Amino acid sequence: MILFASPLEQFEVVSIIALNSQLFSFNWAFTNVSLYALLTLGLIVALHYFSYNELRLVPSRWSVGLESANATVHNLVKDQIGTANELYFPFIYGIFFFVLFSSLIGNVAYSFAIGTSAVVSLGLSVTIFIGVTVLAINKHEWTFFSFFVPGGTPLVMVPMLALVELISYLARALSLGVRLFSNLVAGHTLLKILSGFIYPILVSGPLMFLVGLLPMTLFTALIGLEIAVSFIQAYVFCILTSSYLKDAIDLH
């Protein structure tokens, strides 16, 4: 009998180091989320350190790749935000590499994708939403609330449209995180289910091994698709964040 583990088991947050204090009711845990977040940060720093090109006449491949990523994100921010892009570019740049590297690490076998944690994805989304809202209120003060009343709206329709616009605006607090979370969870769950079916076929004998080569090929293609999704999710996340910043700056 072959027993399959739950495909959702890979998303479990596991405590690695736990410190509990009954005196101050203090509970602190270093989990796999914390570990992979630090690993993501370390890889980002390492990439930028080894891609440093100021002392070289001929740039390395890593340097060229990093400069291409820099130009891509800069053009994205410039197209979305406009003249104020230089002020917010470092913020979007950091988000891009954090989302990208955390997703790519999650594609490594037996690793953990921190984007599949609702706390991380929604926490990042809500934090960005709060920051954008504070920026808008600080910049426009009371004029900010005109964002919820489209120009030329009849007075009798103002309460209804204001409520609709408010709900639409508050949905931004979740939309970024839910999009990232759902795509990563769906992709990793599918890969887990397929691997659970393909592995028993491959180890059932020479004939079944040959039969299993076709689904294995499809499985490999799906892994490539998940890697592409990691780049797409990081890019889309940054586009939407830049769009929200644009709205906060111009109240459009």
Confidence of residue 21 (pLDDT cuts 50, 70, 90): low
pLDDT, residue 1, reads 40
Q: In whole angstroms, what is the distance from residue 74 CA to residue 68 CA?
A: 10
Tokens standing for residue 209: 């091994």
pLDDT tens digits for range 173-219: 888 888 888 888 888 888 888 887 887 887 777 787 787 788 888 88
Give this prediction's pTM. Answer: 0.85
Q: Which of 25-34, 42-51, 54-63, 121-130 has the lowest mean pLDDT?
A: 54-63
Buried residues in 116-133 as b, exposed as e (16+ CB within 10 A): bbeebbbebbeebbeebb
Q: Is the pLDDT of residue 82 over 90?
A: no
pLDDT tens digits for range 113-153: 898 888 889 999 999 999 999 988 888 888 878 777 776 76
Q: In whole angstroms, what is the distance from residue 52 CA to residue 64 CA?
A: 10
Going by C-beta distance under 8 Å and a sequence separation of 6 or more, which residues neighbour residue 240? 175, 176
Which has the higher per-residue pLDDT, 1 or 116? 116
Beta strands in the chain, from DSSP E residues, in sequence order: 15-21, 26-31
